[in-house]
Structure 1
Amino acid sequence: ELLVEQQANINIIAGIVNFPDDIFILNEPKQWLEDSEIKQVISLSNYLQKENYDNYNVDETQTHDSESLLLQKSIFYPNATLEARKVLKQRADHLRLPTKNQDFHSFKTLAVITLNDHLFGIDLEMVREFVEIHQVTPIPCCPAHIIGNMNLRGEILTLVDLRGLLLNLPPQGIVFGSKAIVIEVEGIVAGVIVGEIYDVMFSLNLQKVMAIPKTINTINEQYCQGATLYNEKTMHILDIPKIFLQGGLIVDEVI
């Protein structure tokens, strides 16, 4: 009874129907909103309809017409400044854009790793997984960049060290907790030893890729696609296909 009395005070209850096992409370939709709230909804609807009409019928070069529309007061947001209305209009225009028109090809997802305190980005499409290195079996009569073989869930994975190729530094030994990235390029699968894995899903805007700064002369530029900023530090984007197919990593000799 208290609930019914409280609901009746705000005039949204039209009545009550009693059944043997149930009680139905009849609602009054006309009382859901006050008059001022209904006016705001109508004002917003009319504003959006006028915006859609203008988008189809007004030349974009006629900016004075758009600004005059923005200056018109609306019950929905009567105190908005011209700048605020411009921002709201830009957001509304952006939300009206179909998803198919958005350029997702201008972005690439990278894994961010370190080698000797240098940041490198690797295209995530070529990364199969991230693993910790445990027992490694050396391979006789192989170049220094071939560290050895590792058993990865029954698959024999060859581990390589890119420091000599990218940084002109001697390979470093395997220590406890060392990590590797399993990379697959055109059917070639290998594990690349890394120092640290900083990020596994870094979204790179390709428009922000820049040429490698000339002040950095320790990086072998021919195996990099460019550079970008990662946490305000320079990160080099590796050309993985070129490294694997033209960098001399593949040993195709019979001894």
Structure 2
Amino acid sequence: MDHYLFFSVGHIRCGIPFSDAIFMIRMVSINTENRNGKGKAGTINLHGEILEVYSIRELFGFKERPPLPSDNLIIVRKGLENVALWVDETYVIQGGDLEPEDRFMNEHLQTIIPGIRIIRSDLIVIFDLIEFLDYGLIGQTRLIDILSDHTGGDDTSPVSLVRDYQEIDRVLKERAEQLALPKEEVKRPPVIEVIRFNLMYQEYAVDMKYIREVIQTSEITPVPGTPDFIAGICSVRGEIISLVDLRALLSIPEKGLTDLNRVIVLTDGNLTFGLLADQITGIGTLKTGDIVRTVRREQTAWQNYICGTIDSLHVLNVQALLTDPRMIIDDTET
């Protein structure tokens, strides 16, 4: 099954093969002195390694704008070198086959811009980064022109809402200085790759090795007689999985409205279920030595299912969740 890392640029959602992505960082100041072509925004210094930055916004054909602190840089492999993709937001990993809508099944339409596959008027997949990026430097056809007959809106950039450009420049330069620092020549501590997500205005982290995919919440069917932390069941490409509500499992106090519009599908190869989340906030790594065990009296569930915290980030004990038989509902009984 193919997995994609999705991001947005303007009103267009785009996916790249997750295997092409190395990691993601927050936007930093870009050195524009060596800018040498359409779509190339400049360079960044990543711990002494100079990386070319490609503006996906410009390659798609949107109007250029200055970087914002809320933008992201996705570090990817382009052949034998690493480069950075400048995008608006990254937010979800999803598996499965993405088939184009009928109106985009035309072979000519799908081959105008090499390396991409148009799924919908607001969704594309870049399946070959080298072809797409190289074409963008010389090609004349813009993606937004191809989609113009199928979209009703233009770029919805938040730049018009921003006023303090001096503060933005200061923040981005400060981040760039930190990013340019050389890596310490010491033995690296053990780390885990994680996905971060929000739930009830609190951020949590899940070990990436247990994540099968992240999907949007579909119809949830309640199941009578199950524990209160089982929100119900849903179908994921024909497979029925149970959905766990951490609010009930961990006795999290309610703090206003919550969306619960994402499902993080967890599996260890034997058991599979989903965690409900409000929003995916990013991917990255955590040093296991920095995880501090937290103690909450009279909260056994918290001790069982939370490894610890880093600052205000709670790290879930996914292995404990996956070995708890209460998380699984036998769909033959429903």
TM (norm. structure 2) is 0.38
Q: Which has the higher strand share?
A: 2
TM (norm. structure 1) is 0.49
| Rg (Cα) greater in structure | 1
